[in-house]
Amino acid sequence: MMSGRDERFDALDRTFSSEAARKFAVELTEYYRAPGTSGFQTAMNKVETALRDAGLDVSVDEPTIEDAWEPNRATLSVVEPEQEPLIDFEKAPACLAWYSSSTDGPEQFEVVDVGTGESPADFEGKNVAGNVVYVHGTQRRPAWWEAAKNAAKAGARGVVTDYMLYQTPGVREPELVPEAAQLLRLRPAEAFADEDIWALSIPHSSATVLNELLEDGSVTVEADIDVDVFDATAPYLEATIPGDNPDETILFCGHASGIEPGANCAEGTGLIVELARALNDLADEYDFRRTVTFIVGVEGPVSEEYLQRHPDATEDVITSLTYCSTGHKQSETDSCLLLSASPDSVPHFTNDYLAELADQSPKEANWIGKEGGQELPLLSLAQHYYTPWSDNGRFAQYDIPAPLFMSWPDRCFHSQLLTADVIDPAPLRRSALISGVAALELAVATENEAAGIARAVAGRSLQRLQSLGADYAGNGTIRARRHVDFVEKRDLEALASVTDLSADAADTVDELRAQIEKTAKQVRTSLDAPTETKRDGVADLVPIRTTDDLVSRWVGLEYDDLLSIADQLAEADDEAGWRSLRVVSDEAWNFVDGERTVGDIADAVGFEFDLRVEPEPVYRILSGHEDGGNLRFE
């Protein structure tokens, strides 16, 4: 017998076509889709046509882009001491770094090995000016940006590198994916605006050849690069399924930008287009009270455009749902479908609600004792930490719930290997079932639905609190007490957010609040933790925002500062370091509310990502914001 939710899953499963979503994504992989390029324009035209044909209300604006960049060709070969091709844009479009300059036809250059290039000292005393520098990749993503800037300052004409970003041991390492050429960017844009420099990434197989030749003596390469730079527009699209209340919105976000083939970015767009069609077909049957909105454009600017055009978005958006690499064939990419949580800095019912839907959604196979049900998963899906990977990070800065559907790890990440062949209908279907039913339920939710969501939040909160009690048993420290306090406060705020759906659910929320508070008190008592004491030094400072704008995570910090902060994170927790710097920095800013101290923020970030984070590195991150004019300390 089907429940109401089972019926909604069934209705969406019948209406949504995962094969249609896959087919649309496959079409996009035929185009190079950097912002403003002809391929991006074509992709956005396809999105607009599909959504209009599906019957949605569609509006398209054309924000201008100065110095849009479109690649035409790029080749790099060794010509001395022997002839050896290294990379060809036609075969590996990811190889040419965005915003590279053209060569003057085929040009030959001496190759100068500068190691990692992270320090200006790497370039001193070497014949860099007018030549090509060879930069060896590191595990540190910002190290690429630093090396490229240093190369430009030293007068290099080109950069060749074997960088592979976001390596995953045993899955994504140069030796394991020797043919992958990594997409890179020359940024920040202002550092390269007046520079005549290009950069090419070469795969591990080519880097091995180049390394061997450099060991034997001098090497000359020939580069032939042609790009166009021009003023253009970058379409921004909004499509809506109107509800009775236009001021309350469930927001879906995708981006059509990317490289060719760029299946990762194409997958999210294909899912959004087909999910919009399916939800629109179901709208009359479900009588939406709230509006469902879909936005598509350039990754990053698409969310910024929405926030600028909708200044009340923080109050009006019930939740955002962002999609990136949502359709990876897991056996070929060694990936897991990741439901990245909305951050703890934006406490909301969304995380527990989506977890409930993920648990209850139809899977891929039936149990041996039933004729149907699809209860057994053949697809790997995990709800995991907040991952500021795409436009979800911008929504989070505006206190909008910001879950993200993506695939990770990804052995083919941002390389020419993300072809149409890796797009799989199965993860597209699972993503659509979870988020599509969320849209159906949230669009119509009244007291009963809101009360049900509140019970899901409370049930999972009680489980979390009891688990903390078990984890800290026999280890009743001040940190343990703080952890329980943090989870209780966060979960109570998430529970309270349910009344945004219906104020009539307040009585249910109050009853469940009492249960959470009682359980938290019992856990605290069982810990027998020492009494809290005043924290000294930077831990007691209170950062106060001085801007409401979107901010850069590392404003006011130099590369050497980042190196040092990453070391401090690693000293406190051996699972922290460079990989943690991005998420710690984003949430450190997001937690600034004028009341939390630096110590409170360090604890909150640590509890969120299951790390021990000390106040000092958080203070240094926030001090960069102070230098950048974004906050002050009291």
Q: What is the mean pLDDT of residues 77-90?
A: 98
| Residue 198 placed within a domain | yes
Q: What percent of the chain has pLDDT over 90?
A: 95
| Dist CA 249 CA 35 (whole Å) | 27
Asked which of 214, 231, 248 is the last residue of a domain, the reply is 231
| Dist CA 40 CA 257 (whole Å) | 6
CA 55 to chain centre: 30
Label each residue of 10-25 as H, E or C: HHHHHHCCHHHHHHHH
| Residue 325 placed within a domain | yes
Q: For tokens 């009344």, what's the residue?
A: 499
| Per-residue tokens: 113 | 């090995």
pLDDT tens-digit profile of 96-127?
A: 999 999 999 999 999 999 999 999 999 999 99
| Residue 412 placed within a domain | no
Label each residue of 261-309 as H, E or C: CCHHHHHHHHHHHHHHHHHHHHHHHHCCCEEEEEEEECCCHHHHHHHHH
Q: For tokens 């990070």, what's the residue?
A: 393
Using DSSP's 3-state secondary structure scheme, residue 550 falls into coil
Strands 290-297 and 236-241: antiparallel
Shared-domain flag, residues 550 and 474: no
Asked whether 168 and 176 are in contact (CB, 8 A), the reply is no
| Residue 414 placed within a domain | no
**Phi and psi angles of residue 240, each rounded to the nearest 5 degrees, phi first:** -130, 150
Shared-domain flag, residues 79 and 217: yes
Shared-domain flag, residues 89 and 142: yes
Shared-domain flag, residues 81 and 222: yes
| Residue 603 placed within a domain | yes
Asked which of 192, 211, 231 is the last residue of a domain, the reply is 231
Specify which residues 239 forms β-bridges with: 58, 294
| Residue 532 placed within a domain | no
Shared-domain flag, residues 26 and 88: no
Look over the chain and give the mean of its residue pLDDT values, rounded to a whole number: 97
Asked which of 178, 210, 231 is the last residue of a domain, the reply is 231
- Structure pTM? 0.97
Shared-domain flag, residues 249 and 340: yes
- The domain tally of the chain equals 4
Shared-domain flag, residues 483 and 625: no
Shared-domain flag, residues 80 and 220: yes
Shared-domain flag, residues 242 and 215: no
Structure confidence at residue 406 (pLDDT)? 98
Q: For tokens 């083939």, what's the residue?
A: 261
Asked whether 275 and 436 are in contact (CB, 8 A), the reply is yes
Distances (CA, A) of 416 to 97, 209, 408, 419, 523: 13, 20, 17, 7, 52
Other Cβ atoms less than 10 A from the Cβ of 99: the count is 21
pLDDT tens-digit profile of 328-384?
A: 999 999 999 999 999 999 999 999 999 999 999 999 999 999 988 899 999 999 999
Structure confidence at residue 533 (pLDDT)? 79
Where residue 275 sits, what CATH number does that domain have? 3.40.630.10
| Residue 609 placed within a domain | yes
Strands 236-241 and 198-201: unpaired
| Residue 415 placed within a domain | no
Residue among 71, 77, 102, 228 at smallest CA distance from 160: 77
Q: At what angle do helices 559-572 and 141-153 cross, to 10 degrees?
A: 160
Shared-domain flag, residues 522 and 556: no
The whole domain housing 227 covers 69-231
Shared-domain flag, residues 86 and 220: yes
Shared-domain flag, residues 519 and 572: no
CA 503 to chain centre: 33
